């Protein structure tokens, strides 16, 4: 049918889109100008908007005053895993959209299957398995002892079919595993492309907000550790969780990096066993269980992950370099931060490490990002360099500045109480925190103002 006079016919356009960052170009480029990655520009054909795509958004409402908006707290649903509930901020919020990212095989599907097994007692759950067959999920469910009556499986990759099944079943919870394998027929690009991931996530967001269906979607991560697909995906969802772990350790850490309904930087600790993921309610005891006694370079520091204090072991190895260029390796902590603290040791304390190989590790696969561990890093490096062990029941924490001063950190009382609970009897902390902390029974607190003063006390 020919278009009417004055009416322009919309034509499909061809773009080249970076599969790493979503940068768009009208012509092919070997290197993305935005993220700098090579051979990531893929041709995608963009069709004009269809009625189904234009009508997917919920209807708009009339403006209302801020004072008239209801402030009743959302009723949360507990998923049976207290560690997951902690990371989510106290449970699953109705109508929320949660993204869980992690390496393939890390345990994302296992975690969700265990969670929805308990959520199915609250309301119907629709589990969309786009990567595995229903039989495979059933076998995993038998291993995890998940046998919920209202848990429904759909092995499907078409978004339109999934939305139709949601309209038929009317579930209270929806799981899509994974978002990179879902596609919509309105786009000609392949599943997993930037356009497909963005469009499918947008439709699922409208479903969650419009019908109040709590939705979980999983996503793979790239070699850099970021969730594959456009960065916009993390902005669209309510909560972003990263499931981290090392193939050499049975422990998994679930970390919240975005949460509109709770605190960010919360973590949950799990242990991968034959029967699934087991919760670890006391991670401090777990991380210190195999700590060597009287070994130089080993120091315990209390770190805060969200609202939870965790004691972790820092290990340093300083040895004479046999090469012209000394090696600097750090695992579990920012290598630049370690290099900065090594420079402070050389300049302010007088320990010469210019010709030394330095290897640093955070035991247990934990990743530290807060500056409260600086004083512990300093003590571990000095202990290994001097070949003098730090007393086993001694603990240190504090931020270290470039002038060698020890600065105050947040929530020192939580750190001290956790150390006292595990039997530590002496703690060196910033002098600025000393007045705000009451010493627990059997714990001796000593405030220090500089790195040199702290090391003199430890190795006196």
Which DSSP string corresponds to 9-24? PP--EEEEEETTT--E
Query: Coil, strand or helix: which one is 400?
Result: strand
Which of these, 112, 178, 180, lies nearest to 146 by C-alpha position? 112
Query: Coil, strand or helix: which one is 132?
Result: coil
13 appears as a binding residue in the annotation: no
104 appears as a binding residue in the annotation: yes
Which of these, 459, 432, 424, lies nearest to 448 by C-alpha position? 432
105 appears as a binding residue in the annotation: yes
Which of these, 324, 325, 342, lies nearest to 333 by C-alpha position? 342
Sign of CA dihedral 145, 148, 153, 159: negative
Cis bond upstream, residue 178 (ω within 30): yes
Strand partners, 24: 17
CA contacts within 13 A on the Cβ side of 53: 15
27 appears as a binding residue in the annotation: no
Token readout for 35 is: 């993220």
Question: Which segments within 227-323 are labelled E, that is strand?
Answer: 239-245, 251-259, 267-273, 276-279, 298-305, 308-320
CA contacts within 13 A on the Cβ side of 58: 13
Q: For the CA atoms of the chain, what is the radius of gyration?
A: 26
Q: Cα–Cα distance between 97 and 90 in angstroms, integer? A: 15
The answer to whether residues 220 and 228 touch, using CB atoms and an 8 Å cutoff, is yes
Element (H, E) at 357: strand 356-362
Q: CA 115 → CA 27, 210, 306, 331, distances in Å?
A: 45, 23, 22, 31
Token readout for 215 is: 């939705």
108 appears as a binding residue in the annotation: yes
103 appears as a binding residue in the annotation: yes
Q: CA 413 → CA 393, 438, 457, distances in Å?
A: 18, 7, 21
376 appears as a binding residue in the annotation: no
Scored b (16 or more CB within 10 A) or e, 72-111 reads eeeebbbbbbebbbbbbbebbbbbbbbbbbbbeebbbbbb
Q: Which residue has the tokens 């290099």?
A: 339
Q: Cα–Cα distance between 17 and 187 in angstroms, integer? A: 14
Q: Burial level of 402, CB count in 10 A (0-12/13-18/19+)?
A: exposed
106 appears as a binding residue in the annotation: yes
Known binding residues are: 102-109
Known binding residues for ATP are: 102-109
């Amino acid at each position: 049918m020919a278009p009417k006079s004055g009416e322009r016919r919309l034509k499909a356009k061809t773009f080249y889109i970076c599969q790493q960052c979503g940068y768009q170009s009208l012509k092919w480029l070997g290197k993305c100008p935005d993220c700098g990655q090579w051979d990531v520009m893929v041709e995608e054909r963009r069709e004009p908007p269809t009625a189904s795509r234009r009508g997917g958004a919920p209807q708009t409402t009339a403006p209302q005053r801020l004072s008239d908006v209801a402030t009743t707290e959302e009723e949360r649903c507990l998923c049976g895993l207290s560690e997951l509930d902690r990371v989510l901020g106290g449970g699953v919020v109705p109508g929320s959209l949660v993204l869980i990212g992690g390496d393939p095989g890390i345990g994302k599907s296992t975690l969700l299957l265990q969670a929805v097994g308990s959520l199915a007692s609250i309301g119907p759950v629709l589990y969309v398995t786009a990567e595995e067959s229903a039989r495979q999920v059933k076998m995993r469910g038998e291993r995890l002892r998940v046998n919920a009556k209202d848990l429904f499986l759909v092995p499907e990759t078409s978004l339109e079919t999934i939305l139709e099944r949601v309209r038929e079943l009317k579930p209270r919870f929806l799981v899509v595993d994974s978002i990179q394998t879902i596609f919509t027929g309105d786009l000609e690009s392949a599943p997993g492309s930037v356009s497909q991931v963005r469009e499918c996530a947008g439709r699922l967001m409208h479903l969650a907000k419009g019908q109040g269906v709590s939705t979980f979607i999983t996503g793979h991560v790239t070699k850099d550790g970021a969730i594959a697909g456009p960065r916009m995906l993390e902005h669209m969802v309510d909560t972003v969780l990263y499931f981290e772990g090392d193939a050499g350790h049975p422990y998994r850490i679930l970390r919240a990096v975005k949460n509109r309904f709770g605190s960010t930087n919360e973590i949950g600790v799990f242990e991968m066993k034959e029967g699934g993921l087991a919760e670890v309610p006391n991670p401090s005891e777990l991380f210190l269980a195999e700590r060597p006694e009287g070994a130089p370079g080993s120091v315990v520091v209390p770190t805060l992950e969200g609202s939870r204090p965790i004691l972790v072991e820092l290990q340093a190895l300083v040895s004479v370099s046999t090469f012209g260029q000394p090696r600097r390796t750090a695992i579990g902590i920012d290598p630049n931060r370690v290099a900065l603290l090594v420079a402070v040791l050389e300049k302010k304390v007088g320990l010469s490490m210019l010709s030394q190989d330095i290897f640093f590790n955070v035991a247990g696969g934990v990743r530290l990002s807060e500056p409260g561990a600086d004083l512990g890093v300093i003590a571990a490096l000095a202990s290994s360099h001097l070949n003098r062990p730090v007393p086993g029941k001694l603990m240190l924490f504090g931020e270290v500045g470039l002038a060698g001063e020890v600065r105050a950190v947040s929530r020192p009382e939580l750190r001290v109480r956790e150390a006292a609970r595990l039997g530590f009897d002496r703690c060196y902390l910033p002098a600025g925190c000393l007045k705000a902390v009451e010493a627990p029974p059997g714990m001796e607190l000593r405030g220090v103002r500089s790195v040199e003063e702290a090391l003199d006390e430890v190795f006196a």
